[in-house]
Amino acid sequence: MTVTAAGPLPQTPYDVAIVGAGVVGCAIARELARHPRLRIALVEAQDDVGQGTSKANTAILHTGFDATPGTLEARLVREGYARLGAYAAETGIPVERVGALLVAWDEEQLAALPRLAEKAQRNAYPDTVLLGPGELYAREPHLGPGALGALHVPGESIICPWTTTLAYATQAVRAGADLHLNTAVQHVRAADGHLLTTSRGTLRARHLVNAAGLHADTLDRALGHEDFTVTPRRGQLLVHDKLARPLVRHILLPVPTALGKGVLVAPTVYGNVLLGPTAEDLDDKRATGSTADGTAALREQGRRILPALLEEEVTAVYAGLRAATGQEDYRITAHPGQAYVTVGGIRSTGLTASLAIAAHVTGLLADGGLDLGPVREPEPVTMPNLGEAFPRPYQRADLIAADPEYGTLVCHCERVSRGEIRDALASTVPPRSLDGLRRRTRARAGRCQGFFCGAAVRELFERGARP
Amino acid sequence: MTAPRPVDVLVVGAGPAGLAAAARLAAAGAGRVEVLERETRPGGVARHCAHGGFGTWTHPLTGPGYARLLTRAAERAGATLRTGVTALDWAAAGPVLTTVGPGGPETVEARAVVLATGARERPRAARLVPGTRPAGVYTTGELQQAVHLFGQHIGTRAVVVGASDVSYAAAGTVRAAGAEVVALVTEHPRAQTGRARARTARLGHRLPLLTGTTVTELLGHGRLSGVRVRHRDGRTTVLPCDTVVFTGDFVPDHELARRGGLTLDPGTRGPAVGAALHTSRPGVFAAGNLLHAVEPAGTAAREGARAAGAVLDFLAGTPWPDPGVPVAVEAPLRWIAPNRVTPAAPQARHVLRTRIPLTRPVLYVHQDGRLLHRERRPTALPDRTLTLGARWHERVDPRGGEVRVSAG
């Protein structure tokens, strides 16, 4: 098991180097790690997995009902939905099958619903149901006045994006892949395979996978391709306190119209309620700040969808950058002559599609001459549960009886025990920052944002959770 | 679930209000009085206020000293303190709570519950301050614990957001940690503290105070690199710093109250109570800064003792009172507590807050258009206590409409 974050990189050539440890890169590493003969490097510029778009999205497991029929994205989302659903169940990634309602607020949107139902059919998703206002308000009693109807998509689900990425990385590393953090790729050149110059020295690999997300176009150009340009599209989201969770039962999706996509209101598996995202095309790939205009616009739209939500506390405002390419599809391209696969333009559906993308990319690598060798299924992993729909450690008498540290709560808003923090610090891919610890445990993620527990959590993080 | 364990009175929260309630209840022979505290030590916020201003004129104390005094008093009186135990939720009816601690889950069935869960500062996210999400962003509560309880390093240059008493306490903690206070920043035209304290801070400690100034953006990736502020005249500046402390803007920590379905007051966002501190759930009382975020520790403690009196009456058979007549405020007043008038309750004074400074205001009390009372008060500042006497309670029509308090 190897995770490195400093020092020189191994000089023996790898069979495959994957650049980018987001949800897609981690899924590819996990898929390749099923082949024990391969030496795999997962290379990440930041200090943790899932630090880009993977950590700041709407956390939805999509059915793919509204994908553009016939695209690669439509197929991979459909396959990925089934794969990730099954993987989540066996791994302990929290998923809640709450279903989505596309709510129509005017006649134009109402008229669009049957077309969306028909599109869902073409995407092999036949389970949508049109609802009149009576049934809509029976399902969502706190919905603002004026909704005319909705399309119910029962399969749309919510999922924990952090645990998903971490589960892939954990399984890949335990199966023998090397995860190199704090390793920014600066140059690539062909030299008996690929020679990567990074912030931590050089690394050699016979095959290269570009899963660099927002920076996938830059890396692609370094390998001589001008196929696409990534325009970061900022999505600001407001996270509301768990006390807001009873206000909403489904994912409330906007009906896409010519005037734009609108915003969604969605519960999270942690029991929060999301409002967002904005959609702002930017130039700066580091512009992950929120803005006064953005949050004000979201609250204005949220007031119409779920008026009572505005009365609840906001526990976080975050902004994620989606990798928009101006294309209606993923940009997954094999360059067999170069032993190189680009995995670009993976938009907000990437979380859902991740396992299917991984299988697809593995196929492309094999077609490009990578000898995968035999398959050995990796040891199953069981991830710590961060979801409210499943028993958390503080709710489990058996666990506390065996280890009282699970009954010792440190973060009170989110009810995170000392035992969970200790486990995260000792895990296969441990956190390197308080934010990393938050994504693994929910510690400091609640309404007080550390007023009560911040110093105690930092103490455990910096000096270790052993008494 | 395990069989419920009976106690006579369960107090939730071992801050000044909870400890004072427990001390009086135990001393008065209320039976088994148990205090649940989710932190590892009792005392509430006072335990990390390593500055003076607690105790009395004759016995001045620091926060930790005051916490120890109240803890000893409760224990000596015979109350049981259970630290590291969290009250999670309520059973379907009555003053019955589920808890968890290192010993596992438990259901505690009390004859009466006193909620004293206190208050917290609203953090940066709740204030919707735009920008990135770097490290180095604190509330006063976290800062004080980091410095005074754990001796952690906090950074080198700190901007303190706010200029109320707690902001000056936060500035003191920054200095105690060896860091520099870049400025105190307030959108108000002056500091929300006594003139003497403001002058000492400005001249004695050379703490710059920026009035009429709003924090509009946090900057920096990884670690905070500065805060952008906008002055009254529209100019914006960046104050380079690696630490920012959001102070004040307290709200009740009301999760347990809400989970129990208690009626909340729309102004305070704490449980609606009359002067005897009965909530809308029979058998459940509330005291301290859960009711009014925030008043000094001494006020919270006195209120805890007052709640204990009502608990004793209730245990002796006094029936649960009707909800009473609601008391609401008109802008620029923000809230009032207690916010119900019940006929039999003691005539305890009300505390209020204003949104803007009021120079020697007159407070008017009306019910259904009828003037019940008027009273001139000293100049009131936002985030500082404004009080109103209770002599008018006897003139309230118990069957009439809402009582409205306004400032003129």
Is residue A16 in a domain?
Answer: yes
User: Is residue A68 situated within a structural domain?
Assistant: no
Chain A environment of B103 (Cβ under 8 Å): 400, 404, 407
CA distance B323 to B278: 9
Model confidence at A322, pLDDT cuts 50, 70, 90, reads confident
Distance from the Cα of A418 to chain B's closest Cα (Å) equals: 10
- Would A88 be classed as within a structural domain? no
Residue A90, domain member (yes or no): no
Confidence of residue B202 (pLDDT cuts 50, 70, 90): confident
Residues of A in contact with B132 (CB under 8 A): 288-289
Q: Which residues, in sequence order, are bridge partners of residue A232?
A: A323
Angle, alpha carbons B239-B243-B249 (nearest 5°): 95
Q: What angle do CA B255, B259, A242 make, to 5 degrees?
A: 60
Q: Tell me the pairing of strands A157-159 and A60-61.
A: antiparallel
**Nearest CB partner across the interface for A449, out of B38, B39, B125:** B125
Q: Measure in Å the smallest separation between the Cα of A16 and chain B Cα atoms.
A: 30
**Structural domains in chain A (count):** 3
Report pLDDT digits (tens) over A36-82: 999 999 999 999 999 998 998 899 999 999 999 999 999 999 999 99
Give the model's confidence band at B1: pLDDT under 50 very low, under 70 low, under 90 confident, else very high.
low
Residue ending a domain, among A324, A347, A382, is: A324
Q: Do A402 and A444 share a structural domain?
A: yes
* Cα-Cα-Cα-Cα dihedral sign, residues B271, B272, B276, B278: negative
pLDDT for the residue numbered B346: 82
Same domain, yes or no: A118 and A266: yes
* Residue A242 sits in the same domain as residue A127: yes
Domain with A412, as residue range(s), is 393-463
Co-location of A235 and A312 in the same domain: yes
| Structure-token match 């980091």, residue found | B146
Residue B120 sits at the chain A interface (C-beta within 8 Å): yes
Query: Would you state the pLDDT for residue B343?
Result: 82
SS3 content of chain A, % helix, strand, coil (to 5): 35, 25, 40
Q: Do both A167 and A257 map to the same domain?
A: no
Domain boundary residue among A299, A324, A349?
A: A324
Pairing state of beta strands A201-210 and A14-19?
Answer: parallel
A296–chain B nearest CA distance, Å: 9
Contact A451 B131 (CB under 8 A): no
Distance between CA B311 and CA B65 in Å, rounded? 28
Residue A405 sits at the chain B interface (C-beta within 8 Å): yes
| 3 state DSSP class of A204 | strand
Cβ-defined contact of A407 to B152 (cutoff 8 Å): no
CB A83 within 8 A of CB A213: no
Inter-chain residue contact A448 with B105, CB threshold 8 Å: no
Nearest to A451 among B102, B120, B133 (CB): B120
B9-47: pLDDT as tens digits = 999 999 999 999 999 999 999 999 999 999 999 999 999
Across chain A, mean pLDDT equals 95
Does B104 reach chain A within 8 Å, measured CB to CB? yes
Question: Which residues of chain B neighbour A397 with C-beta distances below 8 Å?
Answer: 104-105
Say which CATH number the domain at A216 has.
3.50.50.60
Q: Copy the structure tokens of residue A123.
A: 């995407």
Q: B77: which residues sit within 8 A by CB, 6+ positions away?
A: B22, B23, B24, B25, B26, B27
Same structural domain for residues A132 and A245? yes
3-state secondary structure of B215: strand
Looking at the structure, tell me whether residues A165 and A187 fall in a common domain. yes
Whether A447 is in a domain gets the answer yes
Q: Which of B403, B373, B398 is nearest to B388 (CA)?
A: B373
The sign of the dihedral angle between the CA atoms of A205, A210, A212, A217 is positive
Selected residue of B98, B128, B236 to mutate for chain A interface (largest A Cβ count, 10 A): B128
* Domain shared by A344 and A304, yes or no: no
Residues A150 and A235 reside in one and the same domain:
yes
CATH homologous superfamily of B1-121+249-321 equals FAD/NAD(P)-binding domain (3.50.50.60)
**Position with higher pLDDT, B202 vs A248:** A248
Catalytic residue annotation of A: 62
pLDDT in tens, A151-174: 999 999 999 999 999 999 999 999
Report how many Cβ contacts below 8 Å link chain A to chain B: 118
Strands B5-12 and A129-131: unpaired
A331 shares a domain with A319: no
Is B150 close to A407, i.e. CB distance below 8 A?
A: no
Q: Does A316 touch chain B (CB under 8 A)?
A: yes
One domain, residues A6 and A126: no
Delimit the CATH 3.50.50.60 region(s) of chain B. 1-121+249-321, 123-248
Note which residues in 287-326 of chain B have CB less than 8 A from chain A: none
Q: How far is B305 from chain A (nearest CA, A)?
A: 25
- A42 and A26 in contact (C-beta within 8 Å)? yes
What is the spatial distance between Cα B393 and Cα A111, in angstroms, rounded to a whole number?
Answer: 59
The arrangement of secondary structure in B123-248, i.e. its CATH architecture, is: 3-Layer(bba) Sandwich (3.50)
Do A133 and A259 belong together in one domain?
A: yes
Q: What does the mean pLDDT of chain B come to?
A: 95
Q: Which amino acid is at A438?
A: R
The string of pLDDT tens digits covering residues B298-351 is 999 999 999 999 999 999 999 999 999 999 999 999 999 999 999 888 888 999
Looking at residue A328, its pLDDT comes to 82
